[in-house]
Amino acid sequence: MRIDVLRAGMTGRVTAPEDDGWDAARLFHSGIGEPAVIVRPGSVQDVVAAVRWAAEEGQPINVRGGGHSAWGTLPGGLTVDLAELNGVDVEGTVVRVGGGATWGAVAATLAEHGLGISSGDTASVGVGGLTLGGGIGWMVRAWGLAADQLLGAQLVTPAGELAEVSAASHPELFWALRGGGGNFGVVTRFDFRAHALPGVVFAELSVPGDVRPVLRALRDTLRHAPRELTVTYMDVPAMDPSAPAGATITACWIGEDVDAALAALGPLLAVDGVLVTDVSARSYPDVLMDMPPFDPDQPMPGFIGGNTLLVEPDDDVLDALASFREAHEASVLFLRSLGGAFGDVGPDESAFPARNATWFAMAGVFDLPGTTDEQRAAINAEWSAIAARGAGVYGNFTQEVDGSVVTRIFSPESMARLGEVKREWDPRNLFSRNHNVMPV
């Protein structure tokens, strides 16, 4: 492997295992990587040079944005760390974002202009990975996915060429980028349409012991709620003082009218025991969470379970989710409302699955020391019975790094169409360190 050739063609930093700073370079937000070499490009042309080198050397490419993906742990290959390409430029309501930017930085810049883009919930999450995988965020009912707000992208193709991609230029590739993952190259710039956002109302609600009536009321409330409202239900075990055990609901309302937000939550607040513990108008960047980075000395345990997109959760599904959480002390249950603008996008207008879903659900058990294979199999079977009621899987919320999950993320029709795009743009499958679609 001719790393000297790579170094000669780059203005940015190239780090190999024998170099000083290797351990720091391979540490990312969610883990530790073992690539053959890491590049941190200082320019788009550096990205072009790195991709051409990888193609010549036959090295698979892993693209690192915010560093929240499990794909960065796979051994070998070239890691392209886009951290230096993190600019955010605002022109009216068009926002051009570097491929290495994180949502916290984007939200902070947009807030200065009274604008917002529906992003993830965590400040350190990368714009690139979230958008390419779809991007469910706090404004999903009002504005759709992060990918739905995408106007265009600058892509370094697997052939090492620059392409400007939009609905008017390379429309099939543009379709694929909106939810089809990192299969098609390195996106060095995302162009978004932003929305007016003077601020948000953020509310936190406590939930009583029996959560079943609350889950039903939550579903029914969001069925008719204004699109300005998006909610999350979370029930977690005791993990640390900042995340006490128990069930809570958080709600985000677009705008600064506290009374309007509470009125929209009215049917839910009528349930016995549901109380507002905190509500205030805030700047949107202030509601994005901070997630502690990976600690090599105290790695997080694995996760047994998964996620699913629910078209219309009936009482039986909600009861099954509540029972799953009750049956396993070290488990998590998470629900996020969809519908609204998310469902305005037709099933063939983007690669993201199940546009008729009204809820996203995730549940799982932490794989603690002492858990047996028999117990893991039983938990997976329990979750699979719930997931079978869903209509798809959200790829950004799965940590599986094998090829089997991709057929659960995309519909057969989308898989076939993505495979055709892959055949045209990446027939050698250079970009395989993702939820990989094979070239048709």
pLDDT tens per residue across span 73-116 = 999 999 999 999 999 999 999 999 999 999 999 999 999 999 99
Question: For the segment 27-54, what is each residue's pLDDT rounded down to a tens digit?
Answer: 999 899 999 999 999 999 999 999 999 9
pLDDT digits (tens, 9 = 90+) for 285-298: 999 998 888 888 88
Mean pLDDT of all residues in the chain? 95
Evaluated on CA atoms 395, 398, 400, 405, the torsion sign reads negative
3 state SS of 327: helix
Domain 3-81 indexed as CATH 3.30.43.10: yes
Q: What was the pLDDT predicted at 243?
A: 58
- The whole-angstrom separation of Cα 65 and Cα 58 is 22
Cα–Cα distance for residue pair 36/59, rounded to 1 Å: 9
Predicted TM-score of the model (pTM): 0.95
Report pLDDT digits (tens) over 150-185. 999 999 999 999 999 999 999 999 999 999 999 999
Share of the chain above pLDDT 90, in %: 90
Domain ranges of the chain: 3-81, 88-197, 200-397
Assigned CATH class of 200-397: alpha beta
**CATH class for the domain made up of 88-197:** alpha beta
H/E element, 342: helix 341-344
pLDDT at 401: 86
Q: Helix 315-327 vs helix 373-387: angle between axes, to the nearest 10 degrees?
A: 160
Q: What is the rounded average pLDDT of the residues 143-152?
A: 98
| pLDDT over 70, % of the chain | 99
